[in-house]
Chain A
Amino acid sequence: MIGDITEGREKSKILLVEDSVSQSGRPLLISILHSLCKRVEKVHYICFDREPGFVKACLQSECSSRVIFHDGTSNILGWENKQSLNVNCDLVKYLNDSKGHHASTSVAIVCDSLSPLILHRSAPYTCQTVTKLASAKIQAAEVDQVVCLLHKDLHDNHSINLLHHIATTIITVKPPKFEHFLMATHTLHKRLSGKVIKLEEHFTLNNEYVIQDITEVKSIDTSKVAMETSQPDPTANLTFNLTLTDKEKEARSQVKLPYTYDQSRQDETLTKSVGEGKIFYQPDEADDFDEEDPDDDLDI
């Protein structure tokens, strides 16, 4: 699944990679960046966290020509120069005005990371920016995918929930449980059809940042196990026979039991409407009742 998402086989407009201090998500982000370079013509890489050189050093040579880096780290709050990239910029406008003019059909945008944007502006503003980027046209090119990194241990739950609401895929990076894997991920993917897929996976990255050895970790569904084990077969270890063969069952169904009505009697009862019971009373002589002397019949 993680392979399908990073390679673009599973369409996802807004991909959110969440990491924390215990496990960095940047290796996965660089892996996604490499696969983006194969799919789209230009990738805009917005740096708010580390300077562009840090990521450039990790890039394969054939990819580096396709990635346009935008440095937002040197002047992050816009104190020195209003024109260079800072958190107060309108990102769509900035990318459209940026110098690296290109005539391409599809672009992708990678934002490393959203955390300064959330901290210095607000979570709703970040959500609006990300969705605007996803539906915008950058220099007349369609945006194929927006990939964002988020340090989730820096923010409160409300902000994280808001970003989860707008993202179509959320990959949470965790330290692996087994040593021979590089990292573990929890993926939540919302398909366009409305289906939601949740997965836990472990994998490693090779030197070219290609994902390898994907192993799915299946969580044990406790409710299901309980359902299955709660059905012991009472007829299993008996000294006598409790089961019936088909022939015996048929013979049993032929037996007429005292409470079963035959067809005609059933129909007769059903055609009579409910609540119309009748009392037939035929007074006999012993019932002759004298109003004057109610105790007439007493033999005292």
Chain B
Amino acid sequence: MTTSFQKKTRSKVLQIPGAKPSIYNNQLLISTGIPSLDHILGGGVAVGTILLIEEDTYGNYARLMLKYFCAEAVMTGHSLLLASADADPEQILKELPAPIIDDPGKGEATLEEPSHDSSSDNMKIAWRYRHLPKFQSNTSGVKFGHYYDLSKTMESELTQTVDISTVDSSLCACDSKQTDGEFNNPGYNSLLKTIQEKIMANGFSTTTQVEKRNILRLALHSIGSPMWGEKGGLTENEMYSPALPRFLVGLKAILRTAYACCVITVPAHLFCDKAYVRRLERLTDTVVEVDSFVGSDKEKNPVYKDYHGLFNIKQLPCLNSLVCNMPDSLDLAFKLRRKKLTIEKLHLPPDLSETANRSQEDPLKNLKPSSGCGTGGRSNKLEF
């Protein structure tokens, strides 16, 4: 007698260069080009999803992250579609950082070791902690994602090895007077159309059968900036503009049925209202915010002297699961070295000053005059 029982077999995951299945939900992941960011996001960005980066005020670090994403496309052989209205996309491609073939993590480790030893000798009282591993939140030694050297640019021969198409500002040369209809922005429309055509023509759709699967990386720079004809998310008569949310819905729908992954940077500080930004966040999958210290008071604050900015995770996707992957800590900061952009747990340096305000102490306590047997103020009835 035969049964209808079938043993559950793990569905076979596609083998695509530069992509790996997630250990949490078996989604196909690709690297953002920043290994520490991959680690925080649970291994990488899932194919078919959108990663939204809310730009810092001057946009430098967000653009750098987008460059890493593009450089990773070159290194893994993925196709790339780069759109930018603010900067010339060809110029961005010329300025991609050069890859570092040997792992810089190793070199740094050997450098750190002697100082580590000498510090352990000095431990007189807390010597029991000597053998505990030094804290490191970013994992190293994973062969997924590359490191890049910012001081050098990638050779153009290397860039030409992969299929790259660009979309520049000529596409969105638009004026509010010439928009067709009230809701849509012609720039977004034609960008969506370009993406759709690219996916169809090069066989990135899940429905088409191709011999060798590849992944399309979409890098959209500064969507929603005035160069796309956007006035801080407002229409002419000061209503919320539905153009950008509509674009995101359309983009998400296209991506869900394609072997494609999108990184968008958005100048969130230009939008009129936080609620509008929240609306955009809800329409994308992963949302991170880059909050650089450049030009702000925090730049001079000694508390933040080791970092270049704060890194806020605003939303993580729940893909094929009820919960999202939760990183160890949400207090994150980034620092930029010549060979590495690292995102790590924000550690405040110990406050060594004598007048340091501890949160559990009453800061006003010191102001009260004290006598030998109790406070002079008689705030407590039990005191005599």
Chain A residues within CB distance 8 Å of chain B: 121-125, 127-128, 131-132, 135, 158-159, 161-162, 165-166, 188, 190, 194-196, 198, 221, 223-224, 227, 230-231, 259-261, 266, 269-270
Contact = CB atoms under 8 A, between A and B. Distances in A.
11 contacts: A121-B176, A122-B236, A124-B231, A125-B176, A127-B227, A128-B169, A165-B226, A196-B58, A196-B295, A221-B300, A223-B300
Interface stretch (B31-39, B44-52, B122-130, B247-255): B122-130
A269 B131 CA distance: 11
Interface of B: 58, 60, 86, 88, 124-125, 127-128, 130-131, 169, 173, 175-177, 225-232, 234, 236, 267, 269-270, 272, 294-295, 297, 300-302, 353-355
A128 B226 contact: yes
Given A131-B86, A165-B225, A223-B301, 4 more contacts: A128-B169, A135-B88, A165-B226, A223-B300
Given A195-B294, A198-B295, A125 B175 contact: yes
A122 B300 contact: no
A193 B175 CA distance: 32
Nearest to A161: B270
Nearest to A271: B131
Chain A's interface: helix, strand, loop or mixed, by majority?
Answer: helix
B130 A270 contact: yes
B175 A121 contact: yes
Contacts of B226: 123-124, 127-128, 162, 165-166
A128 B58 contact: no
Contacts of B86: 131, 166
A194 B60 contact: yes
Given A125-B176, A190-B58, A223-B301, A161 B232 contact: yes
Contacts of B294: 194-196
Nearest to B234: A158
B297 A223 contact: yes
A131 B227 CA distance: 8
Contacts of B230: 124
Contacts of B231: 122-124, 158-159, 162
Q: Which of B127, B234, B300, B353 has the most CB of A within 10 A?
A: B127
Given A195-B294, A260-B124, A270 B176 contact: no
